[in-house]
Every structure is written in C-alpha cells, then in structure tokens.
Amino acid sequence: MSKRKHIQSRDYSVGQLARISGVSVRTLHHYDHVGLLKPAHLAENGYRIYGHKEALRLQEILFYRDVGMSLSEIVAILDAPVDAVDRLTRHRNRLAAEAQRTARTIETLDATIAHLKGIQDMTTEELYRPFSTAKQSEYQDWLISTCGGDIAERIKTSNEAIRHLPDGMEGAMARLRDIEARLVAAFETATDPSSDQIRETLEDHRRLMAQLWGQDCPPEGYDGLAKLYRSHPDFVARYETLSPKFSHWLPLAMEAHVARLLTADDAS
C-alpha cells in the first residue's frame, strides 16, 4: 500500500508567503478581508501567520486567477462541498482539453497561412475537417469538460437529431458547403452583408443549424452563432480559407439577418 508523503509544515509570515508566492502583501491582506484566504492564526503581535494548508489554498487561488476567474467565482468554488483533489483534477482536465484545442487551432492557422501564401494547397476535405465526426467528438468532450451544466444533454439531443437526418451528417455537411458557397459568391461580388439578396441563403443556413441542433434556432441563438464564428480561431481560420476577409463578412451578414427577423417579430 502506497504511503502519502507529507511536506514538513512550517509557518509563514505574510511577508514570507508573499515572497514565496509572488503575490503582494497588499493582495494577501485583501484576500483575508474578502474571506478568500484567512491566516491560520494571528501572532501575539497581531501579525498574520499562514501554514501549509493556507499555502496550498493560495496556490489553488492562483490557478484560478491565471485563467481569469473573478474573486467571487473563486470563493464560490473553494467554499463548495467538493474535495480539493476533485476540484484540481477537474481544473487540470479543463486545461488539458483547452491545450489540445489550442494545439489544433495553431495547426489549422499554420495550414491556412501557408495556403494563403501559396505555399501549400488545402483540399475540400481539409477545409471541412473540423466538422468531421471525429472532430465533432473532440469538440463535444471539450464543451462538456469546460461548460458543465446541461451541455451534455443538449449535445445528446443534437446527436440524436443528426442520426435521424435523412442523409446523416455527411448530407448535412454537403448542404452546408452549398450554402457557404452561395454566401462566398455573394461576398466576392461585393454584396452588402445587410442586403436582402442573401436573405434566403441565410435563412437556409439558420434552418440547417436548427436541424443540426435538434431544436429551434431562434434569432438570439443565430446571433450567438455569429459571435462564435467571429471569435473562435478554428472558424476564423476556416472561413479565411474559403475567401480572405470572409470571416469578417459572414458574422455581419448573420447579424443583419437577426435584425430582420427581430423586426419582423415586432411587426407581427
């Protein structure tokens, strides 16, 4: 049976813990004030004294701060009835999934940059590889580990809907390619993204998304999709490959379509 190794415990003054961790004394005072990191006890002179338990808690706080969490979010995480090992394991898995996603994004960006420079060609299959069954599975695992909540059930609903499509995922991707080809053609002929000329094509796109999601794609959902296309490196890289600057035009066209839909709803 393995034995857990214990680190010899020692006490740290606020100044010593600040030097070791790289956190300012003022920050440690603030963490104490907001209840995020209380000292183990106070010395006779009133100085804060921290032990190994507090040093570990500070390390965990810094892990969460490093990914941009607010102090209120960290307080909620640390005060939840969850074992520290479980918390850190989940955080580690989220970071690992994010690292894999980042590596794939860099790979896609490198390929796209090389393609745009004329160094190498990208086949149609490579353009749409992020939407393959294997890639979809990777994205779904990342979403579940990152978002939690009801995302697993929503993905299950979407997968079930895709299985019941007459032509399956491959057929849906063929329709997506046709829709995007029409949108690229409109973009390359300098069509204004708010033009009524592309209304039908954008509505075809929205209906296809609803089929893939297995539920309605309301204007708000389509607007969220436009934001994803604008901000997610995988989509930006892919749309830039379809046509330079198309990644900027497409979200604008989708948002203009959302505005039309909302205006129609208000008028009805």
pLDDT at 196 over 80: yes
pLDDT at 137 over 70: no
| Closest by CA position to 256, among listed 195, 179, 187, 188 | 195
Which of 130-144, 200-214, 241-255 is least confident? 130-144
Which of 35-44, 134-143, 181-190, 234-243 is least confident? 134-143
How many Cα neighbours within 13 Å face the side chain of 34?
14
- 5, part of any domain: no
Say yes or no: 221 and 173 in one domain. yes
What is the per-residue pLDDT for 159?
Answer: 57
CA distances from 82 to 43, 69, 70, 86, 89 (A): 31, 18, 19, 7, 11
- 2, part of any domain: no
Query: What pLDDT band is residue 121 in, cutting at 50, 70 and 90?
Result: low
**What stretches of the chain adopt beta strand conformation (E)?**
12-13, 41-42, 48-50
User: What span, in angstroms and rounded, lies between the C-alpha atoms of 75 and 8?
Assistant: 27
pLDDT tens per residue across span 138-168: 555 544 554 455 555 655 665 565 556 666 6
What is the per-residue pLDDT for 161?
Answer: 58
Say yes or no: 136 and 206 in one domain. yes
pLDDT tens per residue across span 221-256: 888 888 878 877 777 888 888 888 999 999 999 999
- 209, part of any domain: yes
Contact partners, residue 107, CB within 8 Å, separation at least 6: none
What is the per-residue pLDDT for 123?
Answer: 55
What is the per-residue pLDDT for 1?
Answer: 43
Say yes or no: 120 and 32 in one domain. no
How much is the mean pLDDT over the chain?
Answer: 80
Say yes or no: 97 and 155 in one domain. yes
What is the percent of the chain where pLDDT is above 90? 38
pLDDT at 28 over 90: yes
Say yes or no: 104 and 30 in one domain. no
- 186, part of any domain: yes
Which of 8-22, 36-50, 116-130 is least confident? 116-130
User: What span, in angstroms and rounded, lies between the C-alpha atoms of 178 and 75?
Assistant: 49
- 69, part of any domain: yes
Question: If 0-12 CB within 10 Å is exposed, 13-18 middle and 19+ buried, where does residue 61 land?
Answer: buried
User: What span, in angstroms and rounded, lies between the C-alpha atoms of 214 and 163?
Assistant: 10
Query: What pLDDT band is residue 257 in, cutting at 50, 70 and 90?
Result: very high
Structural domain boundaries enclosing 177: 92-267
Say yes or no: 51 and 117 in one domain. no
Say yes or no: 191 and 104 in one domain. yes
Q: Which amino acid is at 15?
A: G
Give the tokens for residue 160: 């079930």
pLDDT at 7 over 90: no
What is the per-residue pLDDT for 40?
Answer: 93
> What 3-state DSSP class applies to 150?
coil
CB count within 10 Å of CB 147 equals 13
Which of 112-116, 119-123, 196-200 is least confident? 119-123
Tell me which of 79, 103, 129 is where a domain ends.
79
Using an 8 Å Cβ cutoff, are 172 and 208 in contact?
Answer: yes
Q: Where residue 40 sits, what CATH number does that domain have?
A: 1.10.1660.10
Using an 8 Å Cβ cutoff, are 36 and 75 in contact?
Answer: yes
Say yes or no: 23 and 122 in one domain. no
What is the percent of the chain where pLDDT is above 70? 74
Tell me which of 79, 106, 129 is where a domain ends.
79
Say yes or no: 131 and 45 in one domain. no
Q: Where residue 233 sits, what CATH number does that domain have?
A: 1.10.490.50
How wide is the angle at C-alpha 61 spanned by C-alphas 56 and 64, nearest 5°?
130
What is the per-residue pLDDT for 30?
Answer: 94
- 128, part of any domain: yes
- 6, part of any domain: no
- 260, part of any domain: yes
Chain center to CA of 145: 10
In the chain, the number of structural domains is 2
Question: If 0-12 CB within 10 Å is exposed, 13-18 middle and 19+ buried, where does residue 249 land?
Answer: buried
Rg over CA atoms, the chain: 25
Tell me which of 31, 55, 79 is where a domain ends.
79
Say yes or no: 73 and 181 in one domain. no
The residue among 137 and 111 whose pLDDT is bigger is 111
Say yes or no: 147 and 246 in one domain. yes
Say yes or no: 73 and 116 in one domain. no
Which stretch, 72-76, 104-108, 139-143, 162-166, has highest mean pLDDT?
A: 72-76
pLDDT at 49 over 90: yes
Using an 8 Å Cβ cutoff, are 247 and 229 in contact?
Answer: yes
